[in-house]
Amino acid sequence: MADMKRMAGRRVLVTGGAGEIGHAVARRLADEGAAIALLDIDRDKLDAVADRFAGQDVEITRHVCDVTDAAAVADTVSAIERHAGPIYALFNNAGYQGAFAPVHQYPGEDFARVMQINVTGAFHILQAVSARMVATGGGAIVNTASMAGVSGPPNMPAYAASKSAMIGLTLTAAKDLAPHAIRVNAVSPGFIGPGFMWERQVEQQAAADSPYYARDPATVADQMIASVPMARYGQLEEIAGVVAFLLSDDASYMTGTNLPIAGGGQ
């Protein structure tokens, strides 16, 4: 639990807000005093996450938006600022993991979908929000990359390519936006659990008939953990803490950085 109010008086847009990471980060930032704008494409899941803040002293707004639609993104960002006030910080987190298959068998349609959501969609959000930050005098942005974009895991060519692209986008955006007092960093989670993401990855790698992993999900889980020097998976709160730091003034001299959150794993 955060014991500081580093984000008091600041509004943060969290995309992918209905997912596990989005919810955890929104919770941490709210604990630190931020007003939260949650954005997701899934209205029911978004409402369920937003409702978990009911009865608490937290300002939460919810916004249904498809990040692959540039016009919808621009309209949503404008609506947030028009009705709630300027966006000080962005957690650019909406994403799609995609199928699990070796590159020579990977479904082309799914590859395109992963890139459209994880790269083009993230760019739409980054562009729309940063343009407003330029106009309002600065801000802070954290993009969700992944250790998949650093190390290139087997059977995940689309996801790995998309997250590698996010690291590159972060580096360029950091340079382009530094003159406008906007910091841009990325986080690269490794194996994070428990929950849907962990279980899906274990099950899909087991089903991929790969020489790198066993066919039994429980064994795959053991293999993944064995590759981590800290000998455990990370927790959602451990991502949230790093994101909160990067969005706060405690990271005021950091931009263009990609921070691994992977227990020493590669």
Residues with catalytic roles: 159
Q: State the DSSP code for 96.
A: -
Q: What's the rounded Cα separation, in Å, for the pair 158 and 108?
A: 9
**3-state SS, one letter per residue, for 96-121:** CCCCCCCHHHCCHHHHHHHHHHHHHH
Structure tokens at 209: 């008939």
| Backbone phi, psi, residue 37, to 5° | -110, 110
Contact at 8 Å (CB) between 39 and 76?
yes
* Angle between the N-to-C axes of helices 43-51 and 20-31, in degrees from 0 to 180, rounded to the nearest 10: 30
| Backbone phi, psi, residue 121, to 5° | -60, -45
Tokens 């390519």 sit at which residue?
161
Structure tokens at 264: 């020493």
SS3 99: coil
Q: What's the rounded Cα separation, in Å, for the pair 261 and 233?
A: 10
